[in-house]
Amino acid sequence: MPANFPDYLDVDYTDGEGETAEDYPSINHKLEKAIEVTKQGLEQYENPAVMWTGGKDSTLTLYFVKEVAERYDLELPPTVFIDHYQHFDELMDFVEHWADEWDLEVVYARNTDIGNYVEENDLEPGDDIPIDALSEHNQHHVRNILEYEEDSFPFLLDTYVGNHLLKTVALNDALEEYDIDGIISGIRWDEQEARADETFFSPRHDPEIYPPHDRIQPILQFDEADVWEAFWHFVVPETVEEYPDEGYVPQDYDDLPNGLTHEDIPVSPKYFEGFRSLGSEISTDKADSEPAWLQDLDNTTERAGRAQDKEDLMERLRDLGYM
Protein backbone atom coordinates (compact mmCIF):
# COMPACT_ATOMS: atom_id res chain seq x y z
CA MET A 1 0.00 0.00 0.00
CA PRO A 2 1.41 3.44 -0.91
CA ALA A 3 2.48 5.63 2.00
CA ASN A 4 -0.15 7.95 3.45
CA PHE A 5 -3.07 6.04 1.94
CA PRO A 6 -5.81 7.30 1.78
CA ASP A 7 -4.77 10.85 2.73
CA TYR A 8 -3.68 11.78 -0.81
CA LEU A 9 -7.08 10.92 -2.31
CA ASP A 10 -9.80 13.41 -3.17
CA VAL A 11 -12.77 11.14 -3.87
CA ASP A 12 -16.37 11.22 -2.66
CA TYR A 13 -17.12 7.97 -0.86
CA THR A 14 -20.83 8.87 -0.84
CA ASP A 15 -21.09 9.22 -4.64
CA GLY A 16 -23.94 6.93 -5.68
CA GLU A 17 -25.36 6.56 -2.18
CA GLY A 18 -29.09 5.83 -2.31
CA GLU A 19 -29.09 5.63 -6.11
CA THR A 20 -30.27 2.89 -8.45
CA ALA A 21 -29.93 2.24 -12.17
CA GLU A 22 -33.11 4.25 -12.71
CA ASP A 23 -31.25 7.41 -11.69
CA TYR A 24 -29.34 7.07 -14.98
CA PRO A 25 -32.26 6.88 -17.42
CA SER A 26 -30.45 6.44 -20.74
CA ILE A 27 -27.45 4.49 -21.98
CA ASN A 28 -25.67 7.79 -22.57
CA HIS A 29 -26.16 8.81 -18.92
CA LYS A 30 -24.70 5.49 -17.84
CA LEU A 31 -21.75 5.76 -20.21
CA GLU A 32 -20.96 9.32 -19.10
CA LYS A 33 -20.95 8.31 -15.43
CA ALA A 34 -18.73 5.32 -16.14
CA ILE A 35 -16.20 7.52 -17.92
CA GLU A 36 -16.30 10.10 -15.11
CA VAL A 37 -15.67 7.49 -12.39
CA THR A 38 -12.98 5.74 -14.41
CA LYS A 39 -11.14 8.98 -15.14
CA GLN A 40 -11.18 10.01 -11.50
CA GLY A 41 -9.96 6.57 -10.49
CA LEU A 42 -7.02 6.62 -12.89
CA GLU A 43 -6.06 10.16 -11.85
CA GLN A 44 -6.43 9.81 -8.08
CA TYR A 45 -4.89 6.44 -7.25
CA GLU A 46 -1.17 5.84 -7.30
CA ASN A 47 -1.26 2.10 -8.06
CA PRO A 48 -4.68 1.19 -9.49
CA ALA A 49 -5.48 -2.14 -11.13
CA VAL A 50 -8.46 -3.56 -13.02
CA MET A 51 -10.24 -6.65 -11.74
CA TRP A 52 -10.77 -8.72 -14.91
CA THR A 53 -12.58 -12.06 -14.92
CA GLY A 54 -13.12 -12.35 -18.66
CA GLY A 55 -16.85 -11.95 -18.04
CA LYS A 56 -19.05 -9.28 -19.60
CA ASP A 57 -19.07 -6.82 -16.68
CA SER A 58 -15.34 -6.77 -16.07
CA THR A 59 -14.60 -6.65 -19.80
CA LEU A 60 -16.93 -3.66 -20.16
CA THR A 61 -15.11 -2.02 -17.24
CA LEU A 62 -11.77 -2.79 -18.87
CA TYR A 63 -13.03 -1.15 -22.08
CA PHE A 64 -13.77 2.07 -20.16
CA VAL A 65 -10.32 1.97 -18.56
CA LYS A 66 -8.63 1.52 -21.94
CA GLU A 67 -10.69 4.30 -23.55
CA VAL A 68 -10.13 6.77 -20.72
CA ALA A 69 -6.40 6.02 -20.50
CA GLU A 70 -6.01 6.61 -24.23
CA ARG A 71 -8.24 9.67 -24.41
CA TYR A 72 -6.63 11.49 -21.48
CA ASP A 73 -3.08 10.20 -21.90
CA LEU A 74 -3.14 8.27 -18.62
CA GLU A 75 -1.20 5.13 -17.82
CA LEU A 76 -3.06 1.88 -18.47
CA PRO A 77 -3.02 -0.06 -15.19
CA PRO A 78 -2.44 -3.80 -14.93
CA THR A 79 -5.32 -6.24 -14.72
CA VAL A 80 -5.78 -8.76 -11.92
CA PHE A 81 -7.23 -12.13 -12.90
CA ILE A 82 -8.18 -14.46 -10.05
CA ASP A 83 -7.35 -17.98 -11.17
CA HIS A 84 -9.37 -20.25 -8.89
CA TYR A 85 -8.43 -23.42 -10.83
CA GLN A 86 -12.01 -24.15 -11.90
CA HIS A 87 -12.51 -21.83 -14.87
CA PHE A 88 -13.98 -22.81 -18.20
CA ASP A 89 -11.12 -23.57 -20.61
CA GLU A 90 -12.77 -21.23 -23.12
CA LEU A 91 -12.65 -18.39 -20.59
CA MET A 92 -8.93 -18.86 -19.96
CA ASP A 93 -8.37 -18.85 -23.73
CA PHE A 94 -10.44 -15.67 -24.03
CA VAL A 95 -8.42 -13.86 -21.36
CA GLU A 96 -5.09 -14.89 -22.83
CA HIS A 97 -6.18 -13.93 -26.35
CA TRP A 98 -7.45 -10.45 -25.46
CA ALA A 99 -4.58 -9.77 -23.08
CA ASP A 100 -2.33 -10.27 -26.10
CA GLU A 101 -4.58 -8.30 -28.49
CA TRP A 102 -4.85 -5.34 -26.12
CA ASP A 103 -1.26 -5.56 -24.83
CA LEU A 104 -2.39 -5.94 -21.22
CA GLU A 105 -0.27 -6.69 -18.20
CA VAL A 106 -2.09 -9.49 -16.37
CA VAL A 107 -1.40 -10.36 -12.75
CA TYR A 108 -2.66 -13.88 -12.07
CA ALA A 109 -3.84 -14.00 -8.47
CA ARG A 110 -3.71 -17.58 -7.23
CA ASN A 111 -3.79 -19.33 -3.89
CA THR A 112 -0.81 -21.45 -4.88
CA ASP A 113 -0.76 -23.32 -1.57
CA ILE A 114 -4.10 -24.91 -2.49
CA GLY A 115 -3.24 -25.18 -6.18
CA ASN A 116 -0.04 -27.06 -5.44
CA TYR A 117 -1.79 -29.44 -3.03
CA VAL A 118 -4.48 -30.17 -5.61
CA GLU A 119 -1.89 -30.88 -8.30
CA GLU A 120 0.38 -32.99 -6.09
CA ASN A 121 -2.52 -35.13 -4.90
CA ASP A 122 -4.32 -35.28 -8.26
CA LEU A 123 -7.55 -33.94 -6.74
CA GLU A 124 -10.77 -33.31 -8.59
CA PRO A 125 -13.35 -30.62 -7.74
CA GLY A 126 -15.34 -31.81 -4.75
CA ASP A 127 -12.49 -33.82 -3.22
CA ASP A 128 -11.65 -32.94 0.37
CA ILE A 129 -8.59 -30.95 1.39
CA PRO A 130 -7.40 -31.41 5.00
CA ILE A 131 -7.13 -28.16 6.90
CA ASP A 132 -3.86 -29.24 8.50
CA ALA A 133 -2.32 -29.63 5.02
CA LEU A 134 -2.71 -25.91 4.40
CA SER A 135 -0.13 -23.20 5.01
CA GLU A 136 -0.19 -21.27 8.25
CA HIS A 137 -1.58 -18.30 6.30
CA ASN A 138 -4.53 -20.28 4.96
CA GLN A 139 -5.14 -22.05 8.27
CA HIS A 140 -5.36 -18.64 9.94
CA HIS A 141 -8.09 -17.61 7.51
CA VAL A 142 -10.02 -20.86 7.96
CA ARG A 143 -9.83 -21.11 11.75
CA ASN A 144 -9.57 -17.51 12.96
CA ILE A 145 -11.41 -15.48 10.33
CA LEU A 146 -14.02 -17.90 8.98
CA GLU A 147 -14.19 -19.78 12.32
CA TYR A 148 -14.57 -23.03 10.38
CA GLU A 149 -14.27 -26.05 12.67
CA GLU A 150 -14.32 -29.05 10.33
CA ASP A 151 -11.17 -31.08 9.62
CA SER A 152 -11.41 -30.62 5.85
CA PHE A 153 -13.24 -28.66 3.16
CA PRO A 154 -14.27 -29.61 -0.38
CA PHE A 155 -12.22 -28.29 -3.28
CA LEU A 156 -15.15 -26.33 -4.68
CA LEU A 157 -15.38 -22.68 -5.57
CA ASP A 158 -19.01 -22.16 -4.60
CA THR A 159 -18.68 -22.90 -0.91
CA TYR A 160 -17.95 -20.56 1.96
CA VAL A 161 -14.42 -21.82 2.63
CA GLY A 162 -13.57 -22.59 -0.99
CA ASN A 163 -14.69 -19.20 -2.27
CA HIS A 164 -12.84 -17.35 0.46
CA LEU A 165 -9.54 -19.19 0.02
CA LEU A 166 -9.58 -19.46 -3.78
CA LYS A 167 -10.81 -15.95 -4.55
CA THR A 168 -10.74 -13.58 -1.59
CA VAL A 169 -7.40 -14.67 -0.11
CA ALA A 170 -5.86 -14.82 -3.59
CA LEU A 171 -7.07 -11.30 -4.34
CA ASN A 172 -6.00 -9.82 -1.00
CA ASP A 173 -2.55 -11.38 -1.30
CA ALA A 174 -2.16 -9.80 -4.78
CA LEU A 175 -3.31 -6.41 -3.49
CA GLU A 176 -0.64 -6.56 -0.81
CA GLU A 177 2.14 -7.91 -3.06
CA TYR A 178 1.62 -5.24 -5.74
CA ASP A 179 0.77 -2.34 -3.39
CA ILE A 180 -2.56 -1.75 -5.12
CA ASP A 181 -4.49 1.14 -3.61
CA GLY A 182 -7.52 1.13 -5.93
CA ILE A 183 -9.07 -1.90 -7.61
CA ILE A 184 -11.40 -1.04 -10.51
CA SER A 185 -14.25 -3.50 -10.37
CA GLY A 186 -17.22 -4.31 -12.63
CA ILE A 187 -19.93 -4.97 -10.07
CA ARG A 188 -23.49 -3.67 -10.55
CA TRP A 189 -26.25 -2.60 -8.18
CA ASP A 190 -28.82 -4.93 -9.74
CA GLU A 191 -26.74 -8.12 -9.55
CA GLN A 192 -27.39 -9.03 -5.93
CA GLU A 193 -28.91 -7.50 -2.84
CA ALA A 194 -25.47 -7.58 -1.20
CA ARG A 195 -24.23 -5.06 -3.80
CA ALA A 196 -27.23 -2.74 -3.89
CA ASP A 197 -25.78 -0.24 -1.40
CA GLU A 198 -22.34 0.07 -2.99
CA THR A 199 -20.96 3.49 -3.97
CA PHE A 200 -18.75 4.41 -6.92
CA PHE A 201 -15.76 4.78 -4.59
CA SER A 202 -16.03 2.22 -1.82
CA PRO A 203 -13.46 2.14 1.03
CA ARG A 204 -11.89 -1.08 2.28
CA HIS A 205 -9.62 0.33 4.99
CA ASP A 206 -9.67 -2.20 7.85
CA PRO A 207 -6.19 -3.77 7.95
CA GLU A 208 -7.48 -6.62 10.12
CA ILE A 209 -9.58 -7.87 7.19
CA TYR A 210 -7.76 -6.91 3.98
CA PRO A 211 -4.90 -4.75 2.72
CA PRO A 212 -6.35 -1.21 2.91
CA HIS A 213 -7.54 -0.10 -0.52
CA ASP A 214 -10.57 1.31 -2.32
CA ARG A 215 -12.94 -0.27 -4.80
CA ILE A 216 -13.58 1.91 -7.87
CA GLN A 217 -16.87 0.79 -9.45
CA PRO A 218 -17.73 2.55 -12.75
CA ILE A 219 -20.65 0.40 -13.91
CA LEU A 220 -22.84 0.19 -10.81
CA GLN A 221 -25.57 2.02 -12.74
CA PHE A 222 -25.81 -0.56 -15.55
CA ASP A 223 -28.27 -3.41 -15.49
CA GLU A 224 -27.76 -6.62 -17.45
CA ALA A 225 -29.56 -5.35 -20.57
CA ASP A 226 -27.53 -2.11 -20.45
CA VAL A 227 -24.30 -4.09 -20.46
CA TRP A 228 -25.28 -5.88 -23.66
CA GLU A 229 -26.51 -2.67 -25.29
CA ALA A 230 -23.14 -1.10 -24.51
CA PHE A 231 -21.31 -4.06 -26.02
CA TRP A 232 -23.19 -4.35 -29.30
CA HIS A 233 -23.58 -0.62 -29.97
CA PHE A 234 -20.40 0.84 -28.46
CA VAL A 235 -17.68 -1.57 -27.32
CA VAL A 236 -17.61 -3.97 -30.27
CA PRO A 237 -18.12 -1.37 -33.05
CA GLU A 238 -15.37 0.81 -31.55
CA THR A 239 -12.85 -1.99 -30.98
CA VAL A 240 -13.47 -4.27 -33.98
CA GLU A 241 -12.67 -2.52 -37.26
CA GLU A 242 -14.92 -4.66 -39.48
CA TYR A 243 -17.96 -4.46 -37.17
CA PRO A 244 -20.83 -2.23 -38.39
CA ASP A 245 -20.40 1.31 -37.03
CA GLU A 246 -24.09 1.53 -36.15
CA GLY A 247 -23.86 -1.66 -34.10
CA TYR A 248 -25.39 -5.06 -34.63
CA VAL A 249 -26.98 -7.57 -32.21
CA PRO A 250 -26.14 -11.20 -33.12
CA GLN A 251 -29.18 -13.46 -33.21
CA ASP A 252 -27.43 -16.80 -32.69
CA TYR A 253 -24.00 -18.35 -32.17
CA ASP A 254 -22.94 -18.05 -35.80
CA ASP A 255 -24.51 -14.68 -36.54
CA LEU A 256 -21.48 -12.43 -36.85
CA PRO A 257 -21.34 -9.81 -39.65
CA ASN A 258 -18.74 -9.26 -42.34
CA GLY A 259 -17.04 -12.63 -42.01
CA LEU A 260 -15.96 -12.03 -38.42
CA THR A 261 -15.27 -14.95 -36.08
CA HIS A 262 -15.56 -15.30 -32.32
CA GLU A 263 -11.83 -14.66 -31.96
CA ASP A 264 -12.43 -11.19 -33.41
CA ILE A 265 -15.09 -10.22 -30.82
CA PRO A 266 -14.26 -9.26 -27.20
CA VAL A 267 -17.25 -11.24 -25.90
CA SER A 268 -16.75 -14.73 -24.50
CA PRO A 269 -18.28 -17.43 -26.75
CA LYS A 270 -19.90 -18.88 -23.62
CA TYR A 271 -22.43 -16.03 -23.74
CA PHE A 272 -23.31 -16.98 -27.31
CA GLU A 273 -23.93 -20.54 -26.06
CA GLY A 274 -26.56 -19.35 -23.55
CA PHE A 275 -24.56 -18.76 -20.37
CA ARG A 276 -25.46 -15.53 -18.58
CA SER A 277 -22.93 -15.83 -15.78
CA LEU A 278 -19.48 -17.44 -15.88
CA GLY A 279 -18.60 -18.69 -12.42
CA SER A 280 -16.81 -22.01 -12.79
CA GLU A 281 -17.10 -24.96 -15.14
CA ILE A 282 -18.09 -27.13 -12.18
CA SER A 283 -20.98 -25.12 -10.81
CA THR A 284 -22.31 -23.00 -13.67
CA ASP A 285 -24.82 -24.15 -16.28
CA LYS A 286 -26.18 -22.34 -19.29
CA ALA A 287 -29.42 -20.48 -18.57
CA ASP A 288 -30.98 -21.12 -21.99
CA SER A 289 -30.08 -22.16 -25.53
CA GLU A 290 -30.32 -18.59 -26.85
CA PRO A 291 -27.43 -16.11 -26.55
CA ALA A 292 -27.46 -14.35 -23.18
CA TRP A 293 -28.64 -10.97 -24.51
CA LEU A 294 -31.70 -12.50 -26.24
CA GLN A 295 -33.01 -14.22 -23.13
CA ASP A 296 -35.78 -12.87 -20.88
CA LEU A 297 -33.53 -10.65 -18.78
CA ASP A 298 -36.39 -8.94 -16.95
CA ASN A 299 -38.18 -12.01 -15.63
CA THR A 300 -35.36 -14.48 -14.99
CA THR A 301 -32.35 -14.46 -12.68
CA GLU A 302 -28.96 -13.64 -14.15
CA ARG A 303 -27.08 -16.01 -11.82
CA ALA A 304 -29.65 -18.81 -11.98
CA GLY A 305 -27.10 -21.10 -13.58
CA ARG A 306 -24.77 -20.85 -10.58
CA ALA A 307 -24.82 -23.22 -7.63
CA GLN A 308 -23.99 -20.38 -5.23
CA ASP A 309 -26.71 -17.77 -5.12
CA LYS A 310 -27.38 -17.12 -1.43
CA GLU A 311 -27.56 -13.55 -0.24
CA ASP A 312 -26.43 -14.28 3.32
CA LEU A 313 -23.36 -16.07 1.99
CA MET A 314 -22.60 -13.20 -0.39
CA GLU A 315 -22.88 -10.70 2.44
CA ARG A 316 -20.46 -12.65 4.63
CA LEU A 317 -17.97 -13.07 1.78
CA ARG A 318 -18.11 -9.38 0.91
CA ASP A 319 -17.40 -8.49 4.52
CA LEU A 320 -14.16 -10.46 4.13
CA GLY A 321 -13.08 -8.76 0.90
CA TYR A 322 -14.95 -10.65 -1.84
CA MET A 323 -15.92 -8.54 -4.87
Q: Report pLDDT digits (tens) over 23-68.
A: 999 999 999 999 999 999 999 999 999 999 999 999 999 999 999 9
Q: In Å, what is the CA distance from 300 to each residue of 145, 190, 278, 297?
A: 35, 13, 16, 6
pLDDT of res. 123: 96
* Mean per-residue pLDDT over the chain, rounded: 93
Query: Nearest 10 degrees: CA dihedral of 195, 199, 201, 205?
Result: -60
pLDDT at residue 317, as a whole number:
61
- Pairing verdict, β 152-154 and 48-51: unpaired
Residue 309, pLDDT above cutoff 60:
no
pLDDT tens-digit series, residues 156-198: 988 889 999 999 999 999 999 999 999 999 999 998 888 889 9
Rounded average pLDDT over 270-282? 91
Sequence letter at residue 266? P
Inter-residue contact 109 to 81 (CB < 8 Å): yes
Cis peptide preceding 6, ω within 30 of 0:
yes
The secondary structure of 127-166 as a DSSP string is -EEEGGGS-HHHHHIIIIIS---SSEEES-TTSHHHHIII
- What's the DSSP call for residue 106? E
Which sequence spans correspond to the domains of the chain? 1-112+147-322
Q: Considering only residues 320 and 119, tell me which one the structure prediction assigns the higher pLDDT.
A: 119
Residue 284: predicted pLDDT: 84
Pairing outcome for strands 79-82 and 106-109 = parallel
CATH number for 1-112+147-322 (one of 1.10.565.10, 3.40.50.620, 3.40.50.300, 3.30.300.30): it is 3.40.50.620
